[in-house]
Structure 1
């Protein structure tokens, strides 16, 4: 009997709860991970539940097509979720075919709302085992409306390359407190040194148990997410403001560079986590709980970083749920928030100072269009173009105007999607 079969139904129910929550609302995965059904599992079972849920979300598009081809009419959502994880176990994990079917039928039989459908679950999954579906077509991996947007914005070839990465579990990227320690830490962590530098490791498991964690030598941060703070190029005698600072990776970067940092975020709970990371790293920053657009403080700074709230479609490699939770209406609504925050950030830049605006979004309305509109209304700001390779950015990500459009396929092994622009306020 395999380990996955031994794990049993509670872990599979937790996986279904994660998938269901992810498809119902934003932040659904985080909510599901806080519920007793997941938290009370043994560590091995939690790991299996998370792996099963994420594998399902990474291949959700082709899984849906496979199920639609076998279903005469849509079943209740609870039944569809059982089928979703059944397909994932049968074709994407190490679960033997009989165990994938048996545990799925057992799940259906275990609750009154799905018991009548256990025959359907059995029949659909056995039918798919006889005629295995194709689960790796790039175009079906992405919601059609997003694929169409990416094709229009970046071309069909880029859209296909970006979508193909949805199915791949990413490695873990690390930022370093002291870049001079890159070679030593790369050896200890069995990591590749990326430009910047960042480290990329294939290690799995609890990061708190990895080498040099306790000494505060590094923190987890995607290679793309580390680039915007580097564009500010802060010096030890400068003041820096990090707006919308949580989860805090960029705050850590600015503080590690020696700047006097103020970190502003509207979530006190998230700022508490930022403070905990600062303590582990032996760094300091002033934390302020406030809306970055309404913060009453009149101080100005040499360097201001605005990582604005956005649709987060660029983070799909680590958070595939964002693709299915996002709606077209979200982009227009968030664009208004970004515009307001960008105007507020601009007022906090000293004459002659720098402002970096970034979003972890692949949508032009949240990136290129925001900066074009901002420059049209703020004649006291000009673009300060990035140089090729600056900040560790792939050269393919540098746009003609010197801003960065970091697409996921621009780096071997993938990276988060970002837009970043550096601006200078006239003296």
Structure 2
């Protein structure tokens, strides 16, 4: 089993916590502070400037001594025709989820959101729920099988406990039917963020450990890329248009559409790096000078986690294996930078080798990491008949789209 990193327990000394808006500078500085929880890039103030069409607010929880103990980035989307808002905390909030009195954190948040005119809230506690090793899933592959059908190698006690407590408090997991204690992850989690992700543990490992953790196919492909003359590099924002062109090629080939224009990636690159230089990088693989693959690399504010966010590759010269070379470079750079986890983001749950979606999961399994089901995203309509009616109307509209 790999080493897992749990959120730090903040252990506030006073029973009461005060929630109030905070400035972006204080918010960003708190997230960079060693020893706090590792925040997702989706919970940084810079992300608010990437997301057009949303109003954003940074919030902070303070104890009786005035110490900042937790933060949240809240995105607000106005419901057409009314002055009511849907509140969204992507992969947040960053609070002490292990606190036995979780309501000390969540009740002030709900009161604040109600006061802003929010009719409902969605949040994504940054916690793991179940884990499957690459070996377990490789051995389990077969016709009609899915990750959620397989007994996990580990059920995270904190994730399971938080899911139960949220459900008891009236929250409902996005995409979940019924009142059960869990559902198998599906390609559509019901939330905006992937519920099934893939992680490679870096803590306590060296480059030799990373190399031996790869399967034979990955090692062979990386060697082939080197012998073929594939060159990897970190390039600047001037390469983003070429990256986006490759992304369109990838979408057509693999049958998906992220729906993100070039401006989205240009904003992301500019805003994340303005808040913290080097937070977003664009890695490229070229063969004889031609761009064959480009992947985005994001670093958590405290440096403890790195994300491979988006990958793009050409249709031709795939035999020189540019994507394997690129991922190996990114894995090594993440390790050398001191990150504990390399997060490859979402994977499909298909274990059927004949399924088209299985290819992406199979490719990531080759790194020797593990599939991680998070606790998912949760929604709650705020108190009041009007709020509940608006929440039902929103879901009815989304279902019809």
Return the TM-score normalized by structure 2.
0.31
Higher strand share: 2
Q: Which has the larger radius of gyration?
A: 1
Higher relative contact order (CA 8 A, sep 6+): 2
Higher helix share: 1
